[in-house]
Chains A and B, each alone.
Chain A
Amino acid sequence: MYFRRIENLSGVLPAFEPTAFTRRTFLKLTTLAGTGLTLGAVLPACSSGGSSSGTSGAGAEPLVTPFVRIAPDNTVTVIVKHLEAGQGVWTGLAAVVAEELDAAWSQIRAENAPAQVPQYGNLAFDPKGSVQGTGGSTAMSNSWDQLRQAGATARAMLVAAAAEQWNVPAAEIQVQDGVLSHASGKRATFGELASAAARQPVPTNVTLKDPSQFTLIGRDKLPRLDSHAKSTGRQQFAIDVMLPGMMTAVVARPPRFGGKVQSFDATAAKAVPGVVDVVQIPRGVAVVARDTWSARKGRDALKVTWDESTAEQRGTPELMAEYKRLARQSDALTALKRGDVAAGFRRAAKVIEAEFGLPYLAHAPMEPLTAVCRLDADRCEIWAGAQFHTVDQANAAQAVGLKPEQVSIHTVAAGGTFGRRATPDSDYISEVASIAKATGGKYPVRLIWTREDDITGGRYRPLSYHRIRAALSRDGKVIAYEQRLVGQSLIAGTPFEAMMMKDGIDPAAVEGNAAEQYDIPNALVTWTNPKVGVPVLWWRSVGHTHTAFSKEIVIDELAEAAGKDPVEFRLAMLEHHPRLAGVLKLAAEKAEWGKLPGSGNGRGRGVAVQESFGSAVAQVVDVTVKDDRVTVDRVVCAVDCGIAVTPDVVRAQMESGIGYGLAAALHGKITLTEGRVDQTNFHQYEVLRIHEMPRHIEVHIAPSTNPPTGVGEPGTPPIAPAVANAIRAAATGIKVRKLPFDLAEARKA
């Protein structure tokens, strides 16, 4: 069984897992060829231990470029530099290559790229590709040109090989569904031409298709490449990786953030059958055992004394009180300033004031954080659903005392992330590397976070507080807007601070506010970064998770105060935001805005719209409110994400974003009491279950010829405010100011 596991595992290893010579050659070739977007490197088959592309005889070798491998067995394997965490990148990125190649979808496979920059760097993070990672809904947008070039380049080499073999002009060769043909009757598959194509020079100037010629891109029901494996239990995640002799570890971490190990007594833990080692690491004490159950029992028996002298001791009530105080201080940083706000308020016919509080949130992906490490004297291998490869390499290298280039990362599918697996300190990967180091690399080790570790372990969406004032003119227009935000920075104090902070402002803390997204002549947005010891992180849609909430509720209440229709009121402020206006109109039209049957009387309809990660999303929501409980009956969603490469994935991501946002709206909160997290597992950190998923969700994709933009995150921000607006419209008189919804409390307010 072990050996079969290992063979299976090798199928997910990088294709270029090479001898030193081929690795060097590869790097040299790719570096020479690398001008960012241009593909160049073409390798012979090399000793590709992990390649599934068998050879069909002597001299048969695949065509290999950094992003695609065409094998003699006629499979086309697209090398994917991004983490597949459910958002559909294997399918979407493969479709881009397949389109330009004119491949048949049935011959397409996807394989994870090794951790290697600049080859596989994210061009949205840095055009030079210095950081490989997945985030900000950039996988498609930063790969679009790169992978079209990759597909077109490989296609040109196949065509050149056919032209040479058939002795006909390349321009006369047709390519369709993985077959090249010529009017003379000559015909060959990609597989048959792969070896000859590999010997062709790499073209430097290929022509990309006109979008009107696309046949795979935009195809309505393109089958996902991972559906079968994920419907049969065969998809391998990090938690499923088995190496010979591997041990399993769990870690005891401080109960308060910032705590440290003072001392520990491992006697009882070591007495648990199956426990093999108990070792201290920088983040706690690891119990290593022959299986997960023994490791957990060992940790239960472990006695640790924590030094909490520098730990965060405050609870949520104290933090929220502090945030309210900070929002009233005058020393906040200015994130946005436009026009003359004071003058705007002086001319106001009506002023609306509102305060919003949103809780810490855990990401809680279904696969808890897990990674495997195998450490030798001069090499460290990590298996993980790695989301931040370059950062993870550096952190693992530091933990084991090697250089980053001595750390290889075998990326496997992640059982969800929502941002959680991209951490500046690579928390779980650093831990597993530290355990391997502390146990001398004598066995491969797998680290598993339990659900309790995940819920109590930090890296939350920040707690936030917004204080908003907005002014309406006599003719019902928003003439002034002021928003004071308080919430922890995601990047201050991390290695990204220098790259991402602008004039002391963390863009991720303020992005998506009303002044940014509506035409408001006079506006001021300030931000205060409170000093709190709770570690925070980007959570699906980052700053938009809280800014869209307050923005869309305030705008809706301003519409009501102005006596105007909420959709018309918004459209009047979106002249300079045509994509937002477009999706708002589309959603309103498809939802038959204004015609809700049985409106009032406990039923209500609401709308919200938000642009995030380059895409605009509007949602019209129908709810029923009964006994202060809300049921979301219907969501009509419109999205403009540029060209929808894989429309069914786009729809799935909108459905997913809606469900993820609804979980937070209905249930989500992490609270602290005297520095300790109150929730431990799904009975206390409740998430959305199937009976709460709206029975009716429809997603409409705005037609577009613009390059593709993000879909993983933009579906999330509008849902909570749209539901809040629907609750108010349900004639309940409730103004929502907090999440998760507590209608009984809101009614009293």
Chain B
Amino acid sequence: MALTLSVNGQPRELDVDPQMPLLWALRDHLQLTGTKFGCGMALCGACTVHVDGQPTRSCVTPVSAVQGKNITTIEGLATPAGKALQNAWVELNVPQCGYCQSGQIMSAAALLADNPRPSDEEIDAAMSGNICRCATYARIRAAIHQAADTLPVAVTKG
């Protein structure tokens, strides 16, 4: 079935099963491979994208459910918070294998959009759906704080 999705500000057409999870449409049909497959059951967060700004597990979200909505993937993350997070990730050498980090950053960007100065507890609550088997968690916490510190509170909104 022909569908049109809005991905990273661009209309993208594809002809797939409407029940296909957004993850596989992005990866296999739109070649946007920055979004990762980790579990297929919304348990690990590696597939996190933004749908109308909300962090969403693309592995359990059918493409038919996101038509007409704005989908942002790691490739299109361009908010000040997103850039600040990516800079902090690099400066603190956060990634190890790196496979989960797109999802981590997408979750963190959604967190900062909602809460520009999160505490450790708030970071833990917002990020506990994202698994990292390399256990880079301590650096993820530090990088979110560092990114938040570089952002004026007003700019992180939106």
- Determine whether the beta carbon of B98 is less than 8 Å from that of A86: yes
Given contacts A230-B95, A237-B99, A366-B44, contact A689 B136 (CB under 8 A): no
Which residues in chain A, 232-254, are within 8 Å of chain B measured between CB atoms? 232-237, 239-240, 242, 248
- Determine whether the beta carbon of B135 is less than 8 Å from that of A233: no
B34-47, CB under 8 A of A: which get 1 and which 0? 11111111011010
Question: In whole Å, how far is B26's beta carbon from the nearest beta carbon of chain A?
Answer: 11
Instruction: For B136, give its contact among A1, A450, A652, A662 (CB under 8 Å).
Output: A652
- Determine whether the beta carbon of A240 is less than 8 Å from that of B33: yes
Is B70 at the interface (CB under 8 A from chain A)?
A: no
Is A20 at the interface (CB under 8 A from chain B)?
A: no
Given contacts A231-B101, A451-B39, contact A656 B90 (CB under 8 A): no
Instruction: For A648, give its contact among B39, B41, B93, B98 (CB under 8 Å).
Output: B93
Interface residues of chain B: helix, strand, loop or mixed (majority): loop
Is B56 at the interface (CB under 8 A from chain A)?
A: no
Given contacts A655-B135, A683-B41, contact A223 B99 (CB under 8 A): no
Instruction: List, in ascending order, chain A residues with CB within 8 A of B101's CB.
Output: 230-231
Is A367 at the interface (CB under 8 A from chain B)?
A: yes
- Determine whether the beta carbon of B97 is less than 8 Å from that of A690: no
- Determine whether the beta carbon of A682 is less than 8 Å from that of B131: yes
- Determine whether the beta carbon of A231 is less than 8 Å from that of B95: yes
Number of interface residues of A (CB under 8 A): 70
Instruction: For B43, give its contact among A5, A663, A682 (CB under 8 Å).
Output: A682
Instruction: For A86, give its contact among B21, B29, B96, B139 (CB under 8 Å).
Output: B96
- Determine whether the beta carbon of B133 is less than 8 Å from that of A416: yes
B31, B100, B131, B133: residue with the most chain A Cβ atoms closer than 10 Å: B133
Number of interface residues of B (CB under 8 A): 57
> Which one, A287-295, A374-382, A469-477, A499-507, is touching chain B?
A287-295
- Determine whether the beta carbon of B98 is less than 8 Å from that of A230: yes
- Determine whether the beta carbon of B132 is less than 8 Å from that of A366: yes
Is A660 at the interface (CB under 8 A from chain B)?
A: yes
Q: How far does the alpha carbon of A2 sit from the alpha carbon of B41 in the complex, in Å?
A: 29
Instruction: For A697, give its contact among B29, B37, B44, B138 (CB under 8 Å).
Output: B138
- Determine whether the beta carbon of B93 is less than 8 Å from that of A224: yes
Is A538 at the interface (CB under 8 A from chain B)?
A: no
Instruction: List, in ascending order, chain B residues with CB within 8 A of A239's CB.
Output: 33, 36-37
Question: In whole Å, how far is A107's beta carbon from the nearest beta carbon of chain B?
Answer: 18
Instruction: List, in ascending order, chain A residues with CB within 8 A of B137's CB.
Output: 659, 688-690, 693
Given contacts A293-B21, A652-B139, contact A659 B134 (CB under 8 A): yes
- Determine whether the beta carbon of B93 is less than 8 Å from that of A652: yes
Instruction: For A231, give its contact among B94, B123, B134 (CB under 8 Å).
Output: B94
B7-24, CB under 8 A of A: which get 1 and which 0? 000000000110011001
A671-707, CB under 8 A of B: which get 1 and which 0? 0000000000111000111110111010000000000
Given contacts A86-B134, A88-B96, contact A293 B17 (CB under 8 A): yes
Is B156 at the interface (CB under 8 A from chain A)?
A: no
Is B52 at the interface (CB under 8 A from chain A)?
A: no
Interface residues of chain A: helix, strand, loop or mixed (majority): loop
Which residues in chain A, 270-322, are within 8 Å of chain B measured between CB atoms? 273-274, 291-294, 297
Instruction: List, in ascending order, chain B residues with CB within 8 A of A463's CB.
Output: none
Instruction: List, in ascending order, chain B residues with CB within 8 A of A660's CB.
Output: 133-135
Is A415 at the interface (CB under 8 A from chain B)?
A: yes
Q: How far does the alpha carbon of A662 sit from the alpha carbon of B35 in the complex, in Å?
A: 27
- Determine whether the beta carbon of B28 is less than 8 Å from that of A224: no
Instruction: List, in ascending order, chain A residues with CB within 8 A of B89's CB.
Output: 227, 230-231
Closest 7 CB pairs of A and B: A659-B135, A233-B34, A230-B98, A415-B99, A86-B97, A86-B96, A233-B74
Additional A-B contacts beyond A235-B98, A293-B28 (15; CB < 8 A): A5-B31, A86-B97, A86-B98, A87-B96, A227-B93, A416-B96, A448-B37, A649-B93, A652-B93, A655-B139, A682-B131, A690-B124, A690-B128, A693-B135, A693-B137
- The residues of B with any CB-CB pair to A shorter than 8 Å are 16-17, 20-21, 24, 27-29, 31, 33-41, 43-44, 46, 73-75, 86, 89-90, 93-102, 105, 120, 123-125, 127-141
Please list 28 pairs of residues, one from A and one from B, whose beta carbons are closer than 8 Å in the complex, sorted by A's number: A1-B31, A2-B31, A5-B31, A85-B97, A87-B96, A226-B95, A226-B98, A230-B97, A231-B86, A233-B73, A233-B74, A234-B34, A236-B33, A248-B28, A364-B133, A365-B99, A366-B99, A366-B132, A415-B99, A416-B133, A451-B38, A451-B39, A656-B135, A681-B43, A683-B43, A690-B132, A691-B125, A691-B128
- The residues of A with any CB-CB pair to B shorter than 8 Å are 1-2, 5, 85-88, 221, 223-224, 226-237, 239-240, 242, 248, 273-274, 291-294, 297, 364-368, 413-418, 448, 450-452, 648-649, 652, 655-656, 658-660, 662-663, 681-683, 687-691, 693-695, 697
